[in-house]
Amino acid sequence: MARDILKALKNKKLPQMVDWYDPRLLAKIGVREVISSVMGQYADQRLLQAATDRASEDELANRYDYSNPQNEDQLKRIELDGKGAVWVDYIADLGDGFEPTYAMASLLASESLDLGDVGHLRHGEILIMGGDQAYPQASREQYRNRLQDPYDLAFTADDQPERKLFAVPGNHDWYDGLNAFDNLFCSARDRSSRGQGTMIGGWQCRQHRSYFAIQLPHNWWIWGADIQFSNNLDDGQINYFDLISEQMGPGDKVIICIAEPSWLEAEAQGYDEHENLNAISMLARKTGAQICAVLAGDWHHYSRYHSDNLGIHFITCGGGGAFAHATHQLKNKLTVHWPVATKTGETSDDSLAFDTAEKRIMKGDDNIDFKAQEFEISAQEDADENAPESAHKTRPRPPSAKRLLGEAEPFDHEKPHIYPSRLTSRLLSLRNFALPFHNFKFALGLGFIYFIYSWMAFGIDEEIQYFQGSFGTDTPYEKSIVWFVYLASQKSIAFFLMVVGLWFGLVKYVDTSVIKFKFLRPWVGATIGTAHFLAHLLAIAMMTMLVNGVIYLFSQFHNNITTIKPTADLTKQIAAIDNAHYASLRSFIAKGSYLQDPETLMEQRVEKVSQLQKIKVQRERDLFAAYRILGALLMIPLGGILGALVFGTYWVFTCTILSMHCGDAFGALMIKDYNHFLRMKFEKDKLTIYPIGLDRVPRARGWVEPSAAGPLRPNKPKIVPKKPLKIHLIEDPIVIHAKDAG
Ligand SMILES: [Fe+2]
């Protein structure tokens, strides 16, 4: 079995990183996105979940109550460590290529992880998957191949106590209308399951719907919300969390898991992005509970923003196996639109979106109102000496296992709260100079587009030359592409529309949301888009000239072998007829009689000339056919490489220098490394979050049979890395004291 897996891995038979710029995949995803967003509006799976979940209110409220480790109900028991703490893991954006997904699954499955100074960290009793559990479209097959298989193989032991699994759906989970997600993760809702859902490796799915509220010992809660394509929280979900909030009160502490980091999205998209997070946070706090941290995936990097005023950590942690995202575009300081409790009756003068959110979730008898305010959140530690008591202080840092694992003390944060580092991110972005070579299918797609443009231009070029009477000679526009486009556009409306369409598309494509001043955005977009357009136009012209050159050589060769003999024969025959005609005329002048009838000779000549013309026309047709074949053969791969070089250079320029298109540029790179997840330790008075990073994932040949790499592990993985995975803490452990929470 292990050998089969290793063989399949080496032969690339196991899932590879998703090639996001494969034109077929782009088209499929585009169609899926439209269909699923329409389906989501007309047939919201969440409403079906609520309708088919026939639990009483009491059952609903206490379903995931793991607060009592000695609970009579075995399904509600959770194992604590020797000091009474409960451990929970959080991972998001996983099922992509096999190697990174398996590497992360094997880390999660291990009994404990050795983190040097910090010591050994015990595995999580609960695993939270934070969204985008499989790529690209999260169908049942993709869940099976890209998520379940690696997790099953990483944790095969059936003699180990089951761990619990909960998942929040991300946009990729929603691409099939949430059907496959519901089938897999919400299987505990099936009557026949008796509350015990599907096993994925050593983890058992426990949730009944695509959202959940887990109660842990020591008044800690984890809420997972389903925001469906960042649209909204459905009524069933609001009712559920409203019911849960009634079980809570002052002294309860909440961690919210949500599919998107609205604090990052809002920077570009506006405050509306905060609506879902605001809604769920108001529900969590309306009876006095405190929110300590908000966790999100979707962006495949690690970043942590914090506000001392709010006492909340906003953590993005989407490195569960999906390709790495850029970090150099992240700002050190952001503004978050956060609801604060106000006196009853005080009106809110904030955005309409916020008012709508509040009205939807607050009831008349709730003794609390909220008002949205702006708070600065920072990815760097605040060195302000006047900061509140709860703030982390900057002191010399001698970390030791004893201190970090011992009694509560604020930690120093010397490392940036971003991973991979901004410098690494910029350097990685330079890899797009080699775009054609790591995204060859994308290059072929561009080559095909180049071919279409070039083919049209070729046809029009002949037409223009014919009308100008300059066929076959140098024409002025050959010195200017723009002049040619001008002339060609007069000849063909289709060509004109194609050129304008390309320009318009590339201008619209420019991601100007990073430009701070809105009035500048259209100008910046037009400038960068036009430069990009001209670069492609130049590339198409260069490739067309190259192909024309090859065709000219080909035509010479072609003429020599196919038309030289018949044309020469005919030319000779015409010359012979002409000679006969002259001889006949001379005979008439000298002797008064023709040697041959001139009319017959004329008829013969007309016939031969006509035959010659036909051959010439045939030759032109052959040339055009040759262009089609040669053009396709040359233009698609060579034009594609040139086009992808232009595109890659565009991404390097815009992403590295201007911080635009970072998602697209990094999607094309398919980087398997810089993975990460969170390990959390919940204790009576504090929560410690350990962000764990893995810089490099072993490649296909970096895995061996377990017997070849030391003693057997309790989780019995099918294959193990040749050398131990080099994990590290991304930053010092984040300690949240209950009193810090806002
Ligand atoms: Fe994702």
Predicted local confidence at residue 550, as pLDDT: 81
SS3 label, residue 111: coil
Predicted local confidence at residue 420, as pLDDT: 94
How is 448-494 classified by DSSP, letter by letter? HHHHHHHHHHHHHHHHHHHHHT-TTS--GGGG-HHHHHHHHHHH-HH
State the distance from the centre of ligand 1 to the C-alpha of 93, rounded, in angstroms: 5
- What's the DSSP call for residue 254? E
State the distance from the centre of ligand 1 to the C-alpha of 299, rounded, in angstroms: 6
Please give the biggest Cα pair distance in the chain.
135
Cα distance between residue 165 and residue 212, in whole Å = 11
State the distance from the centre of ligand 1 to the C-alpha of 331, rounded, in angstroms: 20
Q: Per residue in 109-134, pLDDT tens?
A: 999 999 988 999 999 999 999 999 99
State the distance from the centre of ligand 1 to the C-alpha of 737, rounded, in angstroms: 30
State the distance from the centre of ligand 1 to the C-alpha of 168, rounded, in angstroms: 12
State the distance from the centre of ligand 1 to the C-alpha of 324, rounded, in angstroms: 10
State the distance from the centre of ligand 1 to the C-alpha of 649, rounded, in angstroms: 25
State the distance from the centre of ligand 1 to the C-alpha of 129, rounded, in angstroms: 12
State the distance from the centre of ligand 1 to the C-alpha of 172, rounded, in angstroms: 7
State the distance from the centre of ligand 1 to the C-alpha of 171, rounded, in angstroms: 8
Element (H, E) at 126: strand 126-129
State the distance from the centre of ligand 1 to the C-alpha of 107, rounded, in angstroms: 20
State the distance from the centre of ligand 1 to the C-alpha of 48, rounded, in angstroms: 25
Residue carrying structure tokens 């030391």: 710
State the distance from the centre of ligand 1 to the C-alpha of 228, rounded, in angstroms: 14
State the distance from the centre of ligand 1 to the C-alpha of 593, rounded, in angstroms: 96
For residue 621, what are the CA distances in angstroms to 317, 565, 618? 60, 18, 5
Contact 83, 688 (CB under 8 A): no
State the distance from the centre of ligand 1 to the C-alpha of 170, rounded, in angstroms: 7
Least confident of 147-156, 238-247, 343-352: 343-352
State the distance from the centre of ligand 1 to the C-alpha of 477, rounded, in angstroms: 48
The predicted model scores a pTM of 0.85
State the distance from the centre of ligand 1 to the C-alpha of 318, rounded, in angstroms: 7
State the distance from the centre of ligand 1 to the C-alpha of 78, rounded, in angstroms: 30
For residue 308, what are the CA distances in angstroms to 122, 267, 283, 611? 29, 20, 22, 91
Reported as a pLDDT band with limits 50, 70 and 90, residue 365 is confident
Cα distance between residue 12 and residue 579, in whole Å = 74
State the distance from the centre of ligand 1 to the C-alpha of 585, rounded, in angstroms: 90
Contact 27, 718 (CB under 8 A): no
Contacts of residue 520, Cβ cutoff 8 Å, sequence gap at least 6: none
The proportion of the chain whose per-residue pLDDT surpasses 90, expressed as a percent, equals: 54
State the distance from the centre of ligand 1 to the C-alpha of 300, rounded, in angstroms: 6
Contact 174, 222 (CB under 8 A): no
State the distance from the centre of ligand 1 to the C-alpha of 298, rounded, in angstroms: 4
Q: Per residue in 40-88, pLDDT tens?
A: 667 788 888 888 888 899 999 999 999 998 888 888 999 999 899 999 9
Cα distance between residue 258 and residue 241, in whole Å = 14
- What is the number of alpha carbons within 13 Å of residue 65 lying toward its C-beta? 14
State the distance from the centre of ligand 1 to the C-alpha of 722, rounded, in angstroms: 28
State the distance from the centre of ligand 1 to the C-alpha of 37, rounded, in angstroms: 17
State the distance from the centre of ligand 1 to the C-alpha of 305, rounded, in angstroms: 20
Predicted local confidence at residue 208, as pLDDT: 94
State the distance from the centre of ligand 1 to the C-alpha of 638, rounded, in angstroms: 33
State the distance from the centre of ligand 1 to the C-alpha of 246, rounded, in angstroms: 33
How much is the average pLDDT of 419-441? 94
State the distance from the centre of ligand 1 to the C-alpha of 204, rounded, in angstroms: 23
State the distance from the centre of ligand 1 to the C-alpha of 56, rounded, in angstroms: 35
Contacts of residue 309, Cβ cutoff 8 Å, sequence gap at least 6: 375, 388, 742
Dihedral, CA of residue 129, residue 130, residue 132 and residue 134, to nearest 10: -10
Reported as a pLDDT band with limits 50, 70 and 90, residue 702 is very high
Predicted local confidence at residue 541, as pLDDT: 87
Cα distance between residue 249 and residue 639, in whole Å = 65
State the distance from the centre of ligand 1 to the C-alpha of 132, rounded, in angstroms: 5
β-strand 302-307 against 418-419: which pairing, if any?
Answer: antiparallel
State the distance from the centre of ligand 1 to the C-alpha of 496, rounded, in angstroms: 39
Q: Per residue in 188-224, pLDDT tens?
A: 988 887 878 899 999 999 999 999 999 999 999 999 9
CA-closest candidate to residue 687, choices 736, 733, 731: 736
Q: Which amino acid is at 697?
A: V
Predicted local confidence at residue 104, as pLDDT: 97
State the distance from the centre of ligand 1 to the C-alpha of 690, rounded, in angstroms: 21
Reported as a pLDDT band with limits 50, 70 and 90, residue 402 is very low
Q: ∠ CA(685), CA(693), CA(715), 5° rounding?
A: 80
Predicted local confidence at residue 403, as pLDDT: 38
State the distance from the centre of ligand 1 to the C-alpha of 1, rounded, in angstroms: 31
Q: Which amino acid is at 93?
A: D
Q: Is the peptide bond before 136 cis (omega within 30 degrees of 0)?
A: yes
Give the pair of three-digit tokens for residue 168: 């929040």
State the distance from the centre of ligand 1 to the C-alpha of 320, rounded, in angstroms: 9
Q: Per residue in 293-334, pLDDT tens?
A: 999 999 999 999 998 888 899 999 999 999 999 999 998 888
